[in-house]
Structure 1
């Protein structure tokens, strides 16, 4: 049993917790303001590797949520941090958007289709059959296979879209090589986020809307877990999982009393 102290660091998922299809969850702005006023450490985590933290800061600000870019940690950044420890100054063939390519350039990686050390698969707005074919051939030739996150689908106003996990399955089917998924629910991303936030597992909380990524990642990293019901998980689904969150709330707005500064 972990001996927990008062929560002084909060990690929060983005989609389904703070925003839903680009629209702020009611009370999310007040929650972020309460965190800022409390002086507690705070980091927004997302498996979305399309955008850089600056991009996401701008998009959240346009929606009325004020989250500094330095308080946003993506699966693309986690992937770059992982590759930097594994093979500094390496090379990669990348399928992804600016969030991923920028993160790899910032660790001095060369992006190439000529004998790369890795094939790195991330989220993109449109997957190219030609790019996937190149990835398959490079993996068959010996490139190590990395994917930013295992999410099979992503949301859009028109309905679900195939995401990284689905495309990774296609490459695996063709090559018989499984990728290493860096993003949630891999505890590696949670530990990297803790290091970035300067938190400790005994005094850090994880807020999420998904049992299969956010909650299990928090549980495996030894964090206090909060499930909110503003995303994909319905209350009646919770007991079906072999792991459980420590707390269940209707919305992140209900957590404000837990983070508001003591005014006594």
Structure 2
């Protein structure tokens, strides 16, 4: 319990939280989440759900949480799809892309005035989704061979689902990289561009914010390298054994986000 008191959550202004494995698994809400969101709202904390899943729009994420009984408005979500669209808009305004992905990615690209092009696009953009097939893979490979630059929405190799794991964006991009000899550029966590945007949306300095996630390789490293305090929760991908694989450590390890509320209360009592 002593370790929990080393980090005063009450003093932090902003919280950036991953979603898969932190807030829910598939369509099941995780223990302690309701209390955590109630605490954030009651304490007037600024918070942002930052997800590498490129498939959903903020509106869909709002509705997904609403179905689980959580009322979180659309402006509290930022996705790797939005980060990808923002990157392309900054790099090449008005560019065209061949995109493999779901509504979250396609809507973000359209909103950034990026057009779809299957003939000679400037970029091939890969996200998670059911449209992924041998046909789209072959098309993407040949477009990259023809000069299109390769972008991945995020660098997650896999993601948690209710019955195990599913291949995620990096795994889906790998065949194109291997076939073409081209390395993709990934826009989601742990890319510092996404983290900086998250902090800007929160209106917080990194020292005032906490990154909460279930993965050492995306959540914890991105928070740490951005200068934030980091919380690794064991409700998703990482286990206590996972910590031994990395040369860096989170600020604190907790079982789930509900422990943040308990830690905040115990800090007050202990001081």
TM-score range, shorter chain: over 0.9
Does the CA contact (< 8 Å) of 1:184 and 1:214 recur in 2?
yes
Does the CA contact (< 8 Å) of 1:14 and 1:45 recur in 2?
yes
Shift of 1:258: 5.7
Shift of 1:198: 1.4
Counterparts of 1:161 and 1:240, CA distance in 2: 22
Counterparts of 1:118 and 1:6, CA distance in 2: 43
Does the CA contact (< 8 Å) of 1:206 and 1:223 recur in 2?
yes
> Which SS does the other structure have where 1:11 is aligned?
strand
Query: What residue number does 1:195 align with?
Result: 200
Counterparts of 2:162 and 2:47, CA distance in 1: 29
The answer to whether residue 125 in structure 2 is matched with residue 98 in structure 1 is no
> Which SS does the other structure have where 1:66 is aligned?
coil
Shift of 1:97: 0.6
Shift of 1:6: 3.2
Query: What residue number does 2:177 align with?
Result: 172
Shift of 1:126: 4.5
Query: What residue number does 2:256 align with?
Result: 251
After the TM superposition, which residues 180-191 of structure 1 pair with which residues of structure 2 at under 5 Å, given as runs?
180-191=185-196
The two structures have a TM-score, normalised by structure 2, of 0.90
Compared with structure 1, are the counterparts of its residues 63 and 107 closer, same or farther at alpha carbon in structure 2 (3 Å cutoff)? same
> Which SS does the other structure have where 2:238 is aligned?
coil
Shift of 1:158: 4.6
Compared with structure 1, are the counterparts of its residues 244 and 148 closer, same or farther at alpha carbon in structure 2 (3 Å cutoff)? same
Any gaps of 5 or more consecutive residues in structure 2? 1-9
Query: What residue number does 2:6 align with?
Result: none
User: Among 3, 7, 23, which residue is 1:18 paired with?
Assistant: 23
Shift of 1:156: 3.5
CA deviation profile, 1:108-149 (whole Å, cap 9, x unmatched): 111111211111100102512111111111111111110001
Shift of 1:259: 6.0
Counterparts of 1:173 and 1:21, CA distance in 2: 30
Shift of 1:257: 4.6
CA deviation profile, 1:144-171 (whole Å, cap 9, x unmatched): 1100011222334454332211121100
The number of equivalent residue pairs is 259
Counterparts of 1:25 and 1:161, CA distance in 2: 19
Query: What residue number does 1:226 align with?
Result: 231
Query: What residue number does 1:62 align with?
Result: 67
Q: Calculate the aligned-residue CA RMSD, in Å.
A: 2.0
Counterparts of 2:24 and 2:162, CA distance in 1: 14
The answer to whether residue 80 in structure 2 is matched with residue 75 in structure 1 is yes
Does the CA contact (< 8 Å) of 1:24 and 1:65 recur in 2?
no
Query: What residue number does 1:88 align with?
Result: 93
CA deviation profile, 1:222-243 (whole Å, cap 9, x unmatched): 1110111111111132133101
User: Among 213, 220, 232, which residue is 1:215 paired with?
Assistant: 220
Query: What residue number does 2:148 align with?
Result: 143
Does the CA contact (< 8 Å) of 1:35 and 1:259 recur in 2?
no
Query: What residue number does 2:3 align with?
Result: none
Counterparts of 1:159 and 1:126, CA distance in 2: 21
The two structures have a TM-score, normalised by structure 1, of 0.93
